[in-house]
Every structure is written in C-alpha cells, then in structure tokens.
Amino acid sequence: MEFRRKLLHVQSLVVADLPPEMIVNILSRLSVKSLCRFRCVSKSWLALISNSRFVKMHLTQTQRESLFIDAENCSFYSIDLESITYDVDKVDTVKLDFDIGGRKWNPRKPWISYSNGLLCIVHEKCFWLYNPSTRERKQVKFQGDRKFWLRFGFSYVDSTDDYKFVRLHNLEKIVEIYSLRKNSWKSIEHDLSNVGFGIRQWVGFPLNGAIHWEFYYYDKIEEPSVIVAFDLFEESFKTLTLPNIIVGSRFVGIFGGCLCMVSRWDEINEFWVMEEYGVKASWSKILTVNSILYPQPLCYLKNSNIMMFSTSEGLAIYNPEYRKFKKIEVDDIQKFWVVYPYVESLVSPNYENHFTNEGNHIIPPILSLF
C-alpha cells in the first residue's frame, strides 16, 4: 500500500506539471521493471502501458539487452548484459519463475527462439511464449502428432504487425504456421524435396521478417550448404548463398543484426557476416580466432566492439584490441544447453488481445487516457 501511495503521488505531480506528450515520452524510456510497477497506479496508466502503440514505442526507444540461459539443471536464468564488461570475471544470474512441466523426469532439452523480447520455447507437444521481463506466458498446443524431420522458427512480422511460429515437416512437405494475432493455425505445402537440413540446427534464426535455416542439396554433396529463408509475409521460401568457403563452413545465426557463418579448420575459426541482406558479395570476414572450441557468437557488449560468445566451456568475451578470449564465470552454473540474447520489452504473449482499430498515430489515442 505504501508503494502504491507513492506512485499515486508521483503520478499526480507528473500529470499536473507536464504536458501529456512529454509524459508518454518519459514513460517510454523507462525500464520494463519500472513500467510493470506503474501499471498498478491507476486504470489509465494500466491502459497506457498495455497499449500496443506504446509497447512498440517503448521497444524502439529502450534497447536494454539480457541473456537467457537454459541450464543443465533444467532451470532458466537471465543475465543483465549491461552489467558485463571486459573487466568482469563473474556475473550474477536471476532464476526465472518459469518451468516446463515434466523436465525433471524428461531432461530432453527444449528448442528456443526469440523475437522482440518474447521467447518461444518448444517442448514435446506444445510451445510456450514467455516474456522474461513481464513474466507473462502462453501455451500453444501443436496440431496433429507429427514427430519427425521437424524444424521450427518464430519471428515478428512488421508488415502485418504479427508474431508467427512455423513448424516445417520435410517428409510430409508441410509448413504449419501459427499467427499470434489471430490465435490460429494454418498449413501450406512446400516443395523442398531435394534438400536436407544442417545437422546442428533445429531452430531457425529470425531476421527481416523471415526464418533462416542451413540446408544442403542431396544431389550436390560436393557443394557448400545454403541458407534457406521462409518469408513470413509471403509465406514462401527463398535461398541465400553462403560465401565461397567450403572447409568446415556452417551457418551459426544472427550477429550484429546480420546473418553470420563460421569456417573452421585446424582450430582456426573465421567469422563472416552478410552486411547487406540477400547480397552474396556483401559477405565480409569480421574475426579470426583460434584455440577455442565451437564458439557461438551472441552479441556485442553495449556501446563497444567487444564480442560475447557461448563456447563449449561456457560464456566468453573477446576484445579485438587484445586479440584474446576471456572466460566468464556464471554464478554456480556449470553447463547450459542454450544461451540467447534478448531485448527487454513489454510485448505480451497474449498479443491478440492488445490490437485496436487505432490509426497510424501513436500520441492522440494514448493521450486520451489522461
């Protein structure tokens, strides 16, 4: 009650002294944790902070990143990326209040993707949408009982203002698509009969409104693999070519907002990014490192060129100036299955409930709440 009284006092001062446009601008730059508290101030503040236009505005103006960790002990954790610098030797984690039922008896790891702060966690007969920042969650059950040759993906689709999950069946030549906005499934046929999937990659990586997987052609074994993207607006496939590197090359995901691949031989790792999406000639080598096993690029540390990697031995950061890796101890976690960076956001897993018939302007509808 004391906290609520203080918030009400703050609200009365802010509303009395500042124009509504400035109030919206200030609130849109606050942390998710603060805004979640402010939702209990009044009905008008709850409506404002839950408003889909405000959620997008906040996502654009507040880019605070964290790491999501799926640990070997079947628990999920988060790490504040802004607390990590090259001088840090150990980082603290926050255990998330989210558990997948049955993991204690069935330790099979889930498959995880992400978009705009929403984590998509695929496990057995369903997937979960979970926002670690707001602690909201939603379970979506799969249709049918298809089990084999599956690939998954999840991403925001800007052109339709929607979030979509896809499940690709290679043997049955079917793509199942779930729309969060419509809260419904649809199925379409595909013709990828002559391709196989990269062994390591079950979950596709989201970029530019498409999901990306590594494929290879059955009848062209001597040629390097390719990246096949499923466009979530057109609901069709397209192919993106890797650079002309054959030795140990593989697609490893998204780094710095670009598609990223690594070429590995004799303990030497070369990292390449596609600087201009869809243009083969724009592949550029950004880093060569050695003496580290299976480095997976995650992100740059904030306002720096220091890179963070997930390795077979845990988290590590790389400073190009010193040209060496530095391992980071993560609390008492000895091993983790999956590590993903995500942006803290207000995006709700119950996204379809937040749609209105508002126009393209964000300020007038929100200001009416005051």
- Domain residue limits, the chain: 2-60, 63-343
Q: Are residues 27 and 370 in contact, defined by beta-carbon separation less than 8 angstroms?
A: no
Residue 97 pLDDT greater than 50, yes or no: yes
How many secondary structure helices (H) and strands (E) does the chain include? 6, 26
Q: pLDDT tens digit string along 213-253?
A: 887 766 555 556 778 899 999 999 888 887 776 566 778 88
Q: pLDDT tens digit string along 291-335?
A: 677 778 888 888 788 888 888 778 888 888 888 788 888 877 767
And the tokens for 242?
Answer: 């890797």
Distance of alpha carbon 144 from alpha carbon 185, whole angstroms: 11
Predicted confidence at residue 231, as pLDDT, reads 94
Average pLDDT over residues 144-159: 79
Compute the mean pLDDT over every residue in the chain, rounded to the nearest whole number: 80
pLDDT confidence of 131, banded at 50, 70, 90?
very high
Average pLDDT over residues 77-93: 85
pLDDT confidence of 74, banded at 50, 70, 90?
confident
* Residues 207/208/211/212 CA torsion (nearest 10 deg): -60
pLDDT confidence of 364, banded at 50, 70, 90?
very low
Give the number of other CB atoms < 10 A from CB of residue 255.
25
**3-class secondary structure, 101:** coil
Q: Are residues 343 and 114 in contact, defined by beta-carbon separation less than 8 angstroms?
A: no
pLDDT confidence of 57, banded at 50, 70, 90?
very high
Distance of alpha carbon 315 from alpha carbon 237, whole angstroms: 34
Q: pLDDT tens digit string along 247-298?
A: 667 788 899 899 998 888 777 888 999 999 999 899 999 888 876 777 788 8
Q: Are residues 316 and 309 in contact, defined by beta-carbon separation less than 8 angstroms?
A: yes
Question: In this structure, what are the phi and psi dihedrals at residue 316, rounded to the nearest 5 degrees?
Answer: -150, 150
Q: Are residues 118 and 128 in contact, defined by beta-carbon separation less than 8 angstroms?
A: no
Distances 223 to 215, 218, 247, 346 between C-alpha atoms, Å: 11, 10, 11, 44
And the tokens for 141?
Answer: 């059950």
Distance of alpha carbon 197 from alpha carbon 214, whole angstroms: 6
CB neighbour class for 87 (10 Å; exposed up to 12, middle 13-18, buried from 19): exposed
Predicted confidence at residue 109, as pLDDT, reads 59
Q: Domain 63-343 classified CATH 2.120.10.80?
A: yes
Q: What residues contact residue 257 under an 8 Å CB cut-off, 6+ apart?
A: 207
E strands, 132-192, are 136-141, 150-157, 162-169, 174-179, 184-189
Question: In this structure, what are the phi and psi dihedrals at residue 265, rounded to the nearest 5 degrees?
Answer: -155, 140
Nearest to 140 by CA among 155, 150, 128: 128
Distance of alpha carbon 214 from alpha carbon 227, whole angstroms: 5
What distance separates the 2 farthest-apart alpha carbons in the chain?
71
Amino acid at 166: V
Q: Which residue has the tokens 């079917």?
A: 174
